[in-house]
């Protein structure tokens, strides 16, 4: 079964010279939110990885930071 098709009103052609700049502008806000919660972020193409470094036995602080970030 195929999904319904939708005509896009806006977009950037694949391979456009503007693509990298527009991607950065689109994702910069999420980077700032993660930093405010002491979380690290790794972005690559269509993948986003959030991580945090904590001392052994202090997993609770990492979980609390991530929960606070999600509530934001």
Question: CA dist 30 to 12, 36, 50, 60, 68, Å?
Answer: 21, 10, 11, 23, 14
Profile the chain (72 residues) by mean pLDDT over runs of 10 residues.
87 81 82 87 81 86 88 81
Q: What is the pTM of this model?
A: 0.58
For residue 38, the model assigns a pLDDT of 86
Nearest to 33 by CA among 11, 47, 48: 48
Burial of 7-32, coded b for 16+ CB within 10 Å and e otherwise, reads eeeeeeeeeeeeeeeeeeeeeeeeee
| Pair 38, 64: CB distance under 8 Å | no
């Amino acid at each position: 079964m195929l999904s319904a098709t939708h005509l896009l009103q806006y977009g950037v052609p694949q391979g456009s010279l503007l693509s990298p700049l527009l991607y950065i502008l689109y994702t910069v806000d999420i980077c700032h939110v993660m930093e405010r919660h002491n979380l690290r972020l790794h972005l690559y193409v269509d993948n986003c990885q959030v991580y945090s470094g904590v001392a052994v036995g202090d997993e609770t602080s990492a979980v609390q930071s991530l929960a606070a970030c999600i509530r934001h």
